[in-house]
């Protein structure tokens, strides 16, 4: 890979923009960060005004499932059926935070549309995240069996007057 004028100009730009050598190397492609640094020095570009972010903006690791039933197995060591979820345009409000569940729940899952007050239900994921969902079971397990279910309310984000409680 040779240093064409085009690549050198891009290198200058990215370097002045504060990108790290490895980032620039990835951007240019087919080159190592050492090559970038070497070139930068040969061009006399070293000594940037500011090293952008000393704290690396690392992507966050995905969190663990928010409900034990996502990972629990039944007594027979049979994996639970995949949780059925529904993608709704809702604005959830958790009125009581979930606590660890006492027992694994193995029963039919329902969407938030079918949730009732008596049902075991819980949020999935972090409120505010795109992947946030509600899930519940159709059986009436109640809090004596499942201490994890949360008392939740939701309202359509598009129409907050039509507030409903699940």
Residues that bind DNA (CB under 7 A): 1-3, 19-23, 31-35, 37-42, 46-47, 51, 54, 56
Output the smallest distance, CB 64 to DNA, in A: 22
Compare residues 41 and 63 and give the one whose CB is closer to DNA. 41
Cα 26 from Cα 14, distance rounded (Å) = 11
Nearest residue to 43 (alpha-carbon basis) of 12, 1, 2, 77: 12
Enclosing H/E stretch for 13: helix 5-16
Packed helices 5-16 and 21-28: angle between N→C axes, nearest 10 degrees = 140
Output the smallest distance, CB 63 to DNA, in A: 21
In sequence order, the 6+-apart residues with CB closer than 8 A to the CB of 84 are 109, 110, 111, 135
Compare residues 39 and 109 and give the one whose CB is closer to DNA. 39
Compare residues 10 and 94 and give the one whose CB is closer to DNA. 10
Output the smallest distance, CB 13 to DNA, in A: 14
Compare residues 50 and 161 and give the one whose CB is closer to DNA. 50
Cα 114 from Cα 138, distance rounded (Å) = 8
Output the smallest distance, CB 3 to DNA, in A: 4
SS3 call for 111 = coil
Bridge-partner residues for 121, per DSSP?
A: 136
Compare residues 2 and 144 and give the one whose CB is closer to DNA. 2
Output the smallest distance, CB 60 to DNA, in A: 15
């Amino acid at each position: 890979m040779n240093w064409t004028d085009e690549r050198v100009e891009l290198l200058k730009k990215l370097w002045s923009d504060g990108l790290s050598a490895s980032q620039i190397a990835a951007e240019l492609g087919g080159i190592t960060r050492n090559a970038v640094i070497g070139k930068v020095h040969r061009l006399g570009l070293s000594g940037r005004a500011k090293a952008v972010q000393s704290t690396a903006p690392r992507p966050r690791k995905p969190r663990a499932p928010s409900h034990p039933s996502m990972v629990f197995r039944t007594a027979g060591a049979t994996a639970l059926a995949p949780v059925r979820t529904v993608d709704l345009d809702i604005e959830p409000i958790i009125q009581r935070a979930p606590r660890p569940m006492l027992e694994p729940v193995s029963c039919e899952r329902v969407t938030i549309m079918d949730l009732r007050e008596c049902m075991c239900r819980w949020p999935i994921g972090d409120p505010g995240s795109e992947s946030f969902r509600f899930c519940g079971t159709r059986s009436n397990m109640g809090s004596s069996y499942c201490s994890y279910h949360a008392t939740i309310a939701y309202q359509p984000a598009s129409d907050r007057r039509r507030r409903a409680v699940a």
